[in-house]
Structure 1
Amino acid sequence: MTPPPATTAPRAGDLRTEGLSYEVAGRALVDAVDLSAAPGETVGVVGPNGSGKTTLLRCVYGTLHPTAGRALLDGDDLHALSAKARARRLATVPQDGQAAFELTVRQVVAMGRSPHKRFWEADTAADEDLVTAALARVGVADLADRVFPSLSGGERQRALVARALVQEPTLVVLDEPTNHLDIRYQLEILSFVRGLGTTNLLALHDLNLAAYYCDRLYVLDAGRVVASGTPEKVLTAELLATVYGVTAEVDVHPKTGAPTVVYLPPPAS
């Protein structure tokens, strides 16, 4: 999917970063990143460890404030919004859903309604219906009364996606949503995210998953964008050698039509 040109009027879920940077002690962890995700598009951020993926996402969803540049959602500077106003429009699914507090799955998912409510305002029947529908949609309705920390990794991630759903956002930011999950849950989570209808920004390690589930990719290296475009354009043997330092073959899968990366072992010394 091609993002709209810069002259197109912003629409619901239109994300852009302009020269976004984040520095610590004079070192740029994110360096002048320009990125876009059109309404309904799923955009992946990939790159080796330490390339700045998580820092970039944190600058977008608000836990870090950029030292330069800005992140815009439908033309509004996300960092100029209050945390509550931002949470009405943007939901986050973190890397690891572990939690020490003893809340049930239903209570965790219901927390997604808090941006739309006054402090200590009780849930309405409409809120409860949204929570019930979200639990069913992600396939964890039967776990609603379980204590959240008792869930498996895949179950926790699905519950956190349900929490994001009840926020009713236009943008969902997911930081390594398949981290530590077995392949079944990886496929389920990413398939579900693709079907949400929201704009989705994901950081991913697995390039084959990124190639199959993302409309476009941004490749980060040392905090800078070194390539962007469709998976077919971006994932080349040359780029993998340069950015990841690996030898690989990239072919088109005969059934999915997506690029498939096969890593080759280094030559024997």
Structure 2
Amino acid sequence: MRVRGLSYTTPEGRPLLEGADLDLRPGETTGLVGPNGSGKTTLLRCVYGTLRPTAGTITVDGADLLAMGPKDRARRVATVPQENRPEFELTVREIVLMGRAPHKRFWEPDSAADGRAADEAMARLGITELAGRAFPSLSGGERQRALVARALLQDPALLVLDEPTNHLDIRYQLEILGLVRELGTTNLLALHDLNLAAYYCDRIHVLHGGRIVAAGPPAEVLTAELLAEVYQVTAEVAVHPRTGAPTITYLPPGLP
């Protein structure tokens, strides 16, 4: 995916995103980080189509994403949104099969091939035993796995995840991000936890005030100076002796 000059201004004239440029390389995981209100979710919503940018271009495999209809876009971009309210009484398998909808005609029934693809996706995400369970009965981590399996059935060029670890305990945070890394898809995700972003992302883009202010490998981007400027915190950044990833320790204000 290639993004150039992406901007979004609200109907009231408030700029939420200004001139964002980013490139996603095939098979890599790219993270968006930044304080609350920095523009992460706005950028993702422009990519997966719930917001129409006021300026800029987005291409996926050379195709103009902004010129596509919803169905064509869904064939290229699969989304796991931030809020997944479990108010519908569908089974996990039915939820996963919804991923085939962009590739089917309206009301076209699921085929045997669709069923096999759903079973394979559930096995890949480790939720085969949950196939008959009602989606609302699942834990947060189980729901996230089901939604990632649904996204895989779209056979997308790009997988977009908005705060995929939100409201999950640390075990499920590590499991979900580990699974996403292992899928082999090209991934774009927004994260709050910088240490998770440093470990699981190949590249990081830092947003601040609606602009991308830094981009590159985690070790180059996540510096004490940048954290002080963007997050207004004092921090120490070291290399973890076992993972080799940058590790951030935040220091309380006033510490000598």
TM-score range, shorter chain: over 0.9
Q: 1:163-174 counterparts in 2 under 5 A? A: 163-174=150-161
Shift of 1:41: 1.1
Aligned to 1:84: 71
- Which among 17, 23, 42 is matched to residue 9 of structure 2? 23
In 2, Cα distance between the equivalents of 1:159 and 1:229?
31
Contact map agreement 1:51 1:221 (CA 8 A) in 2: yes
SS in structure 1 opposite 2:199? Answer: helix
Shift of 1:95: 1.1
For these two proteins, the number of residue pairs brought into alignment is 255
TM-score between both structures, scaled by the size of structure 1: 0.93
Identity of aligned residues (%): 70
In 1, Cα distance between the equivalents of 2:158 and 2:125?
18
- Alignment-mate amino acid for residue 30 of structure 1: L
Q: 1:28-67 counterparts in 2 under 5 A? A: 28-67=15-54
In 2, Cα distance between the equivalents of 1:226 and 1:99?
36
- Alignment-mate amino acid for residue 101 of structure 1: F
Shift of 1:99: 2.5
Aligned to 1:193: 180
Aligned to 1:97: 84
Shift of 1:76: 1.2
Shift of 1:96: 2.4
Aligned to 1:126: 113
Contact map agreement 1:111 1:163 (CA 8 A) in 2: yes
Deviates more, 1:137-146 or 1:210-219: 137-146
In 2, Cα distance between the equivalents of 1:53 and 1:247?
22
Aligned to 1:5: none
- Alignment-mate amino acid for residue 62 of structure 1: G
Deviates more, 1:28-37 or 1:89-98: 89-98
SS in structure 2 opposite 1:114? Answer: helix
Aligned to 2:136: 149
In 2, Cα distance between the equivalents of 1:19 and 1:127?
38
- Alignment-mate amino acid for residue 237 of structure 2: V
Unmatched runs of 5 consecutive residues or more in structure 2: none
Shift of 1:148: 0.6
SS in structure 2 opposite 1:119? Answer: coil
Once the two structures are superposed, residues 179-205 of structure 1 have per-residue CA deviations (whole angstroms, 9 ceiling, x without a partner) of 011111111111111111111000000
- Alignment-mate amino acid for residue 20 of structure 1: L
Once the two structures are superposed, residues 203-234 of structure 1 have per-residue CA deviations (whole angstroms, 9 ceiling, x without a partner) of 00000000000000000001001111110000
Aligned to 1:3: none
In 2, Cα distance between the equivalents of 1:256 and 1:180?
25
Contact map agreement 1:93 1:161 (CA 8 A) in 2: yes
Contact map agreement 1:98 1:156 (CA 8 A) in 2: no
- Alignment-mate amino acid for residue 37 of structure 1: L
In 1, Cα distance between the equivalents of 2:172 and 2:229?
31
Alpha-carbon RMSD: 1.1
- Alignment-mate amino acid for residue 57 of structure 1: L
Aligned to 2:148: 161
- Alignment-mate amino acid for residue 42 of structure 2: T
Shift of 1:175: 0.3
Contact map agreement 2:60 2:157 (CA 8 A) in 1: no
Contact map agreement 1:93 1:164 (CA 8 A) in 2: yes
SS in structure 2 opposite 1:192? Answer: helix
Shift of 1:81: 0.8
TM-score between both structures, scaled by the size of structure 2: 0.98
